[in-house]
Amino acid sequence: MELAVNGAYEVLSQKMTYGHFMLVNDCDTDLSHIKGSGTGHTARDLGHYNIYSSHTWIEQAWGYYYTGIDRVNRIMANKERVALPDDESKKKFNRLIAEAKLLRGICYFDLVRMWGDVPLKLTASDKKENFALTRTDREEVYEQIVKDMEEAISDLPWHDEMSSYEGRPTKGAAMGLLARVYLFRAGYSLHQNGKMERPGKYLEYYGKVKAICAELINSHHHALNANYERVFKNVCENILEPNEVMYEVQFYNPSGENDHSSKIGSYNSPEINRNSSYGLGNSFIKTTHFAYDLYEQGDTRRETAIATFKINANDNVIPIPRKNSYTWAPGKWRRNWIPGPPKDLENMDINFILLRYSDVLLMYVEAVNELDGRLDKLAIECLNQVRRRAYGYVPTATTPAIDFTSADFPNQQSVRDYLFIERARELCFEGFRRFDLIRWNKLAVVLHDFAAKFNAAVADGTLTSYVWAAGNYFKGGKHELYPIPSYEIRETKGSLVQNPDYSNDGR
């Protein structure tokens, strides 16, 4: 049983899920973009919104998610055949079933976020069955995600109740992911009518976020690391820290080859010359001074999050001038933070952070504000814990010099405006920005406004000449979703209907 569950989770440790694809999925936004202005390259096409239904990464990602789902379905179909001779066996069995259900929930959640209404299949595939499936309304898919995650929560342990934590899913991780599911369910998404809409029960879903996050916060099983930079150094050093980093998708290949290794720390890192002692920092994901300037003076997160330098062949740090800030890079994952010599120029063992405790705190704030129109005492404390840590103070210690009070947020919109920036500052490059902008129904306007701001900076000489390509390709009412892979349309003989404004012929 354990081998079967481990094999199911393997799909998250593929390049075309969390090892590479999800890094590019978060581009292009006001925070990050894929290097280079051209198209005709898999990553640039995806990041710059030159997206087509035969895109190989989209095809592979879709396939891996449904492979994971099918593996879980097969586990569920055969679970009664497992011998359980004693209570300890039953306890372990229940935990493994819970892990499998959580994985199925994660896979369907990613599918819904990226493709909208998708086929919901809960039985193991058989070569005799009819595979011409139709799309299932996303609300029905969300119901199954919630069911799987709720059932998983009841049989998973807290991380600090385990004899040793080795990175397996925990109760806190499942609760945080369920809160995220409800948060996105409450938001906007693109529908088959070509419109961005939110469900009629969205306030009910915000209520679920509030309740789950409150329970998780008040359980005191999780807390912020006092040092923001140390959070990411731990990940680069393969130090598991479940207090804050509540769940990581794990990667490891003993020889540095492709299987089960990631691009994290190379593809989304500062540029590092391949002849340096650290190995190659490919640095294909970039940012700009506009993201850098979101941070206020004294915010220690800025120098961790954004690398304004590159490293040459002699391991020297070379500053990159502000006029070339479109070549600045994410700084949270760095090859020069990894102990030991590189196993491979590009492949890495750095894990993908799927959930941090700071996100739980910020989700609670957002839910309370949307539900009640004002912040309660716990929400103010959540904001202050994130803020104190950012400015170098103990997260849980009252700090009058910088602490917020309710007077700092006179209305609902003031909280929304703050979270729009604060989620960017705290969680940048971790896979949230594009999804956040979509659920807030802001992706189209933010990309339009950012393109204008970027072009103005080029025109007035703040930046040297560069084309921010997403501004030329993004189309609202289309690119909030990916296309159903063309081979799926073809193999199901058209029973799967394509997403709005995409062609079925591979374009």
Mean pLDDT of 256-284: 95
Distance CA 454, CA 448 (A): 10
Could you tell me if 121 and 12 lie in one domain? yes
* Residue 381: CA count within 13 A, CB half-sphere: 11
Mind spelling out the 3-state secondary structure of 405-416? Answer: CHHHCCCHHHHH
Judgement on whether residues 479 and 466 belong to the same structural domain of the protein: no
> Count of domains in the chain?
3
For residue 120, count other CB atoms closer than 10 A to its CB: 20
The token pair that represents 321 in the structure block: 């001038």
pLDDT category of residue 505 using cuts at 50, 70 and 90: low
* Predicted TM-score of the model (pTM): 0.97
Q: Are residues 6 and 113 in the same domain?
A: yes
d(CA 172, CA 391): 27
Same domain, 338 and 296: yes
User: Which residues, other chains included, contact 404 with Cβ-Cβ below 8 Å and sequence gap of 6+?
Assistant: 380, 383, 384, 387
Which of 365, 367, 389, 369 lies closest to 378 in space, CA to CA?
365
Give the residues across from 281 on adjacent strands: 272
Calculate mean pLDDT across residues 130-139. Answer: 89
Residues 499 and 446 in one domain: no
- In the structure, what pLDDT confidence band is assigned to residue 506 with cuts at 50, 70 and 90? low
Question: Does any domain span residue 61?
Answer: yes
The per-residue pLDDT for 507 is 59
Residue range 190-194: mean pLDDT, rounded: 96
Q: Is 148 inside any structural domain?
A: no
Cα gap 410→384, rounded to integer Å? 16
Domain extent for 332: 251-343
Q: Does the residue 260 lie in any domain?
A: yes
Looking at every residue in the chain, the average pLDDT score rounds to 96
Q: Is residue 294 part of a domain?
A: yes
Q: Is residue 226 part of a domain?
A: no
Whether residue 372 is found in the same domain as residue 300: no
Strand 306-307 and strand 329-330: the pairing is antiparallel
Instruction: Indicate the burial class of 18 (C-beta count within 10 angstroms; 0-12, 13-18, 19 or more).
Output: buried
Under DSSP, the state recorded for 15 is I
Q: pLDDT band at 340, cuts 50/70/90?
A: confident
Residues 446 and 498 in one domain: no
CB 169 within 8 A of CB 247: yes
Q: Which two tokens stand for residue 261?
A: 């290794």
Residues 111, 6, single domain; the answer is yes
End-of-domain residue from the set 287, 318, 343: 343
398 and 491 both lie in a single domain: no
pLDDT in tens, 438-495: 999 999 999 999 999 999 999 999 999 999 999 999 999 999 999 999 999 998 888 8
- The residue out of 315, 343, 371 marking a domain boundary is 343
Pairing status of strand 196-197 against strand 306-307: unpaired
